[in-house]
């Protein structure tokens, strides 16, 4: 009974049968009552018809009148007329009464006039048989209508469930890689939400498949060169004639391994970001996120003798944004990695949080070479590295940051830093919480 059609048919047919039985029982009882009243009325009319004189014969010609008994008595008790040989009791009860005579029960109506007493009796067994026949006739319409109504409802339910069957056939006929949306036209309101959710699911699965194919394609394309370089470096290490040459080859091999590991990590981050589902966003304290990211990047800055810190903001405040903490942390970490990687020694990297008409803006500025204006749009492409990019990299950092920003409804803007002379990256949030920004109470991050 897991079938909706069977459940509907079972419940509807049961309701029809119960209603039909109830209606038939009511019609049967009503027909019996009406027949009883009709027969009593017939007895009265026969008695009233005999008040003007007795019948001219003692036995009826009509066989249908054999169930009736007629007796007429004079005021002195003399029997003036008897229709059959089965006499009724001479003591008549005026009006209606039920009597039994010689094993037969009668329904009797008696009326008295100044000149005679009239008794009209009807055999109750024949009377009840005729009443039941009339009651059965009253039940016939319901007995005919109930099956017709069942057939009509079966057809209506079958027709109403056709959209479900059509949708099932459409899904069953699909190829394995066909994730196109199901048609939503002419679907009832009860089925449309299910089909829409299926289409959303197909979209998420399609996004995941695209991310998987993109990852495989990117990995196959980008890992070819690092792996080839590792093989060549291993061969160079194997051919090294002396210890100094072997040390140089080992160092280069380690650098190649580090680049391959970094590239693989970036590819995995990009694949996870592209396949991320629409999980509920959280209310995030942007200052806390920046402080954590800067503290994580401090060892890298100190190793290269770089000045890294959070620049003083406008009146001290707490910027709240809606988003996913892990994804925004990856975004900020990539921006800091790029800034620290391309800033020369003794350089400076500043992180600041400002407000633009109440909208939080996160900026990362450095004193590096910057990016040529012609390359500002291209650097967001995967694996693109500008001519100024001398440090080793995969060309995925800004592409990942752009994907995360777009997922949060934010915008990344690149331009020249007016204060440090290098690159300035601004992350502009467009979805801050409705609650107002509140003053900050904790200390800022100290510079390295």
Q: Same structural domain for residues 217 and 116?
A: no
Residue 437 domain flag: no
The candidate with the shortest Cα–Cα distance to 414, out of 390, 368, 379, 367, is 379
Residue 340 domain flag: yes
Strands 348-356, 307-310: pairing is: parallel
pLDDT of 81 reads 80
Q: Same structural domain for residues 289 and 218?
A: no
Task: Indicate the pTM of the whole model.
Answer: 0.46
Q: Give just the sign of the alpha carbon dihedral 375, 409, 265, 382.
A: negative
Rg, the chain, Cα only: 50
Residue 163 domain flag: no
Q: Same structural domain for residues 267 and 305?
A: no
pLDDT of 316 reads 56
Q: Same structural domain for residues 95 and 31?
A: yes
**Domain hosting residue 21, numbered range:** 4-156
d(CA 368, CA 421): 7
Q: Same structural domain for residues 263 and 287?
A: no
SS3 87: coil
Look at the chain and count its residues: 448
- The domain boundary residue, chosen from 249, 274, 299: 274
Residue 44 domain flag: yes
Residue 179 domain flag: no
Which residues does 421 contact at the CB level (< 8 Å), separation at least 6?
367, 370
The candidate with the shortest Cα–Cα distance to 171, out of 210, 202, 200, is 202
Q: Same structural domain for residues 288 and 424?
A: yes
Strands in 75-199 per DSSP E? 79-82, 95-101, 104-112, 117-123
Q: Same structural domain for residues 303 and 387?
A: yes
pLDDT tens digit at each of 448 positions of the chain: 567 777 888 888 888 888 888 888 888 888 888 888 888 888 888 888 887 665 554 444 444 555 677 888 787 777 778 776 666 666 667 888 877 777 777 788 888 888 888 888 887 887 788 888 877 877 788 788 888 888 888 888 888 878 877 888 888 888 877 888 888 887 777 778 888 888 888 888 887 777 677 666 666 655 666 677 777 778 877 887 888 888 888 887 787 787 677 667 766 766 666 555 456 678 888 888 888 888 888 888 888 888 888 876 555 567 788 887 877 888 888 888 888 888 888 889 999 888 877 788 888 998 888 887 777 677 766 666 665 555 555 566 777 778 788 877 888 888 888 888 888 889 988 765 544 444 444 444 445 5
pLDDT of 317 reads 64
Q: How many beta carbons lie within 10 A of that of residue 299, not counting itself?
A: 10
Residue 421 domain flag: yes
- The domain boundary residue, chosen from 230, 254, 274: 274
d(CA 309, CA 362): 13
Overall domain count for the chain = 3
pLDDT of 263 reads 66
pLDDT of 89 reads 66
pLDDT of 436 reads 45
pLDDT of 442 reads 42
Q: Same structural domain for residues 220 and 317?
A: no
Q: Same structural domain for residues 230 and 372?
A: no
Q: Same structural domain for residues 269 and 390?
A: no
Where residue 252 sits, what CATH number does that domain have? Answer: 1.10.287
Q: Same structural domain for residues 381 and 314?
A: yes
Structure-block tokens of residue 155: 């057809």
């Amino acid at each position: 009974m897991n079938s909706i059609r069977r459940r509907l048919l079972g419940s509807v047919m049961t309701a029809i049968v119960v209603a039909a039985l109830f209606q038939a029982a009511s019609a049967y009882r009503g027909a019996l009552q009406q027949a009883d009243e009709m027969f009593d009325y017939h007895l009265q009319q026969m008695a009233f018809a005999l008040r003007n004189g007795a019948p001219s014969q003692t036995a009826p010609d009509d066989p249908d009148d054999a169930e009736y008994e007629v007796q007429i008595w004079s005021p002195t008790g003399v029997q003036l007329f008897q229709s059959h040989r089965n006499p009724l009791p001479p003591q008549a009860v005026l009006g209606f009464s039920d009597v039994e005579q010689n094993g037969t029960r009668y329904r009797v109506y008696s009326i008295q006039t100044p000149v005679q007493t009239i008794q009209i009796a009807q055999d109750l067994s024949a009377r009840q048989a005729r009443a039941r026949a009339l009651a059965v006739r009253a039940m016939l319409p319901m007995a005919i209508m109930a099956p017709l109504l069942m057939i009509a409802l079966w057809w209506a339910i079958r027709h109403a469930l056709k959209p479900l069957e059509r949708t099932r056939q459409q899904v069953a006929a699909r190829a394995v890689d066909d994730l196109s949306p199901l048609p939503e036209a002419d679907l009832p309101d009860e089925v449309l939400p299910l089909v829409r959710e299926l289409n959303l699911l197909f979209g998420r699965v399609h996004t995941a498949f695209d991310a998987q194919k993109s990852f495989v394609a990117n990995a196959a394309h980008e890992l070819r060169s690092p792996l080839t370089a590792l093989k060549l470096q291993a061969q160079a290490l194997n051919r090294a004639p002396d210890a100094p040459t072997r040390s140089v080859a080992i160092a280069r091999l380690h650098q190649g391994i580090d680049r391959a590991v970094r590239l693989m990590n970036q590819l995995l981050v990009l694949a996870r970001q592209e396949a991320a589902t629409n999980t509920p966003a959280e209310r995030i304290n942007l200052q806390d996120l920046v402080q954590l990211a800067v503290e994580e990047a401090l060892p890298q800055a100190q190793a290269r003798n770089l000045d890294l810190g959070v620049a003083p903001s406008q009146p001290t405040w707490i910027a709240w944004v809606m988003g996913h903490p892990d994804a925004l942390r990856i975004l900020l970490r990539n921006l800091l990695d790029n800034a620290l990687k391309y800033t020369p020694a003794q350089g400076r990297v500043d992180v600041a949080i400002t407000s633009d008409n109440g909208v939080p803006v996160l900026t990362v500025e450095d004193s590096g070479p910057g990016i040529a204006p012609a390359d500002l749009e291209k650097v967001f492409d995967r694996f693109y590295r500008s001519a100024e990019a001398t440090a080793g990299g995969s060309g995925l950092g800004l592409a990942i940051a752009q994907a995360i920003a777009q997922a949060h409804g934010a915008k990344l803007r690149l331009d020249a830093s007016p204060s440090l002379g290098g690159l300035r990256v601004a992350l502009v949030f467009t979805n801050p919480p409705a609650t107002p920004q509140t003053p900050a109470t904790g200390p800022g991050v100290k510079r390295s």
